[in-house]
Amino acid sequence: MRVILPPSETKSDGGKGAPLDLDTLVFPELNPVRKQLGDALVALAADLDASRLALGLGRTQLAEVDRNAELWVSPTRPAIERYTGVLYDAFDYSSLTRAGKAKTADRVMIGSALFGVVGASDLIPAYRLSGGSKLPGMKTLAAQWKGSLSPCLDAVDDFVVDLRSGIYHQLGPIRGAVTATVVTEQPDGSRSVVSHFNKHHKGLIARELVRTRRTVRDINVLAAVLSDAGQRIEIDGPDRIVVITQ
């Protein structure tokens, strides 16, 4: 089983790893696109106003431009420790047992606008590039990744649970992957999607899937594992589960 998480705009600082080496990342066949996007980010960082516009930054976020400027020389850390926020708080990697951390390295990948996808243990620097960004003089990110990302992910010979948000899913859809939708149910039975709960529960889903000792090879076992962990789950067709919260 493989679980693919969405990235986060917020990222931790620093790291103890050597500067970014693309050849150490999963799917090295993606490196030409990674290199092109990385070089473009570094070049863009020389123009503060252009960076703010292209990356959608406010005046209090200018340090993100400095991160991009140092992309090729800044220290790295494992991707699962680099990304932060609601989903990663719920996943709570630091509290996992040694076995849980080993399963995270084996089972978890993370979508990325810059890298396409990285393994949980891949060493990456802090950077800023969102799935909806468009770099000056370049095609959209969806167009950049078209033809390379999906074939790599489709070639994964395993049951895949794709927890990426819509914009990252569009960068590289995976044929046959199971997706998850989190909804909040009101007393009258009506349901709505709420972003915060969506991220939190996807973090819990991923956590259970690196803790379970069961072999998850289909959507029925997936639903059973999550139900046993206390989540209310519905199977909606052959490739989607719905997590219901109140």
Under the banding of pLDDT at 50, 70 and 90, the label for residue 189 is confident
pTM score, whole prediction: 0.95
Residue 182 to residues 17, 18, 49, Cα–Cα distance (Å):
35, 38, 37
Residue 143 to residues 114, 128, 131, Cα–Cα distance (Å):
13, 19, 11
- For residue 68, what pLDDT is reported? 97
- For residue 228, what pLDDT is reported? 96
Average pLDDT rounded to a whole number, residues 108-114: 98
Q: Going by DSSP bridges, is the β-strand pair 77-78/108-112 parallel, antiparallel, or unpaired?
A: unpaired
The domains of the chain are located at 2-245
Is the predicted pLDDT of residue 5 greater than 80, yes or no?
Answer: yes
Q: Going by DSSP bridges, is the β-strand pair 77-78/240-245 parallel, antiparallel, or unpaired?
A: unpaired
d(CA 12, CA 10): 7
pLDDT in tens, 19-60: 999 999 999 999 999 999 999 999 999 999 999 999 999 888
**Tell me, what amino acid is at 50?**
A
d(CA 213, CA 81): 23
What DSSP designation does 80 have?
Answer: H
Cβ atoms of 136 and 30 within 8 Å: the answer is no
